[in-house]
Structure 1
């Protein structure tokens, strides 16, 4: 797509990121696409209507959300062959924790061009505020509301060596923080809220401290939780290494056994190889 902004938009699908709070964060390119699209697929026309009013335009809108996507999607796909169709969410980048990916998938399958107009994303913005490692992170969306399903979801990611990012609501915040502390251990975390708005804040502490803080005072606004990765695993003991080597030697060669145990326990392979030879009695005479 050319970098020159012209009134005419080529037919296809335009994924448009919109502000997560501060309307000043709408990019000029995003404003241009929204001003000239033939139709805008929206979560809530009232929310997008305020944004369009902010940039001084009126455009046709059609609801596209969890409850009607299956019915509305075919019509949008058909229009993309002749017109520019824009997709927005109520706030932030479409497809992040919403069903928009199916529209992209079907648009590509139909041979239509898809463009992305990047911009605000609450998950990424929260990472920049939290002061936690950002070299590797995992986005979890919303955790399940029921306790058993929530605990299972937390257990599934407990061992992942990455910063975790998830969305939550104020009324559920303290319970979720407590469940995270129980399932992950008492890691460092940040509760970020009202990002880009007047009352933006990032409160840091351990998961248990944060759970106690919000137990009787659930905050308002959109909330993103950022949780530190697990600490370094505890070094395996000599007894653990010997037990693992003894088992591995029953089915593998000395070198293979040393490699397998080294990888599993994070122990030096050369030391394990020497110990394996010792255990087999090689060189002891």
Structure 2
């Protein structure tokens, strides 16, 4: 019986790779990588571990957040007449990794783009966390700068859906300290070494997690996924006097809609509740 040859369109293929265990890759992903003319990757040495395992020898081009448009110009003709793959160090391309700008450049030039799906640290962690998975928000890495980290956590703390964050090892304790100050003692899952022999999932609360780290009962190494339970109050918190003062100040400089949007972004409070209070404040102004 003659096996039918599959024909693939020329263009950009976003190929998901393993997040730890090198066997977690699809047959289709291996086939596409073998058929490609070149492979875009973050770290060449890291990429070669996977390619060597499956005997794939291709030209590699490094891609990072700061050179995506430059890379697009360099490979423009290749994208039109061959298969070009984009992979990340682990998991799905573009998810807290480079590729967004490259994909947009391709879309603007009507270059074919498709996804070869596979492993995702976000989904694997959510499955293992024991948290509700019908609704969730992925927030990427908690920012390095303290104020930006505070802004992100404040804007998400009153949301009712499960919250997912990435964290590096050297900022894990600092990030959980900040979570405790802003979120309080929320239910939490911290996961590391996903799909590897030393995979670990700690399902606890914020206070206990900090205690484990402080008492060195939890090894802080590698990259982590932090998952927090949603606000059981349904996302509507009390609009206190401090927030009313902020609203009042903003209403003097911005429209009612813009003032509500700014406070909602900072606090995560219900837009409907904020709008009603802002309207009341505006009507009561002399």
- TM interval, short-chain normalised: 0.7 to 0.9
Task: Specify the alignment match of 1:120 in structure 2.
Answer: 119
Establish whether residue 221 from structure 1 lines up as the match of residue 218 from structure 2.
Answer: no
Cα displacement (A) at 1:264: 4.5
Establish whether residue 87 from structure 1 lines up as the match of residue 89 from structure 2.
Answer: no
Q: Which has the larger radius of gyration?
A: 1
Cα displacement (A) at 1:17: 0.1
Cα displacement (A) at 1:212: 2.0
**After superposition, where does 1:150-169 map in structure 2 within 5 Å?**
150-169=149-168
Cα gap change, 1:152 to 1:234, in 2 (>3 Å) = closer
1: CA distance, partners of 2:134 / 2:188: 16
Question: TM-score w.r.t. structure 2 length?
Answer: 0.77
For structure 1, which runs of at least 5 residues remain unmatched after alignment?
Answer: 238-262, 266-285
Cα gap change, 1:147 to 1:80, in 2 (>3 Å) = same
Contact 1:190/1:227, CA 8 A, preserved across alignment: yes
2: CA distance, partners of 1:45 / 1:135: 37
**After superposition, where does 1:27-176 map in structure 2 within 5 Å?**
27-176=26-175
2: CA distance, partners of 1:13 / 1:64: 14
Question: TM-score w.r.t. structure 1 length?
Answer: 0.78
Cα displacement (A) at 1:109: 1.1
Task: Specify the alignment match of 2:204 in structure 1.
Answer: 205
1: CA distance, partners of 2:212 / 2:95: 29
1: CA distance, partners of 2:129 / 2:186: 13
Contact 1:5/1:32, CA 8 A, preserved across alignment: no
Cα displacement (A) at 1:69: 2.1
1: CA distance, partners of 2:236 / 2:157: 18
Report the secondary structure of 1:25's partner residue. coil
Cα displacement (A) at 1:153: 1.4
Report the secondary structure of 2:81's partner residue. coil
For structure 2, which runs of at least 5 residues remain unmatched after alignment?
Answer: 239-271, 275-286
Aligned pairs, how many?
A: 236
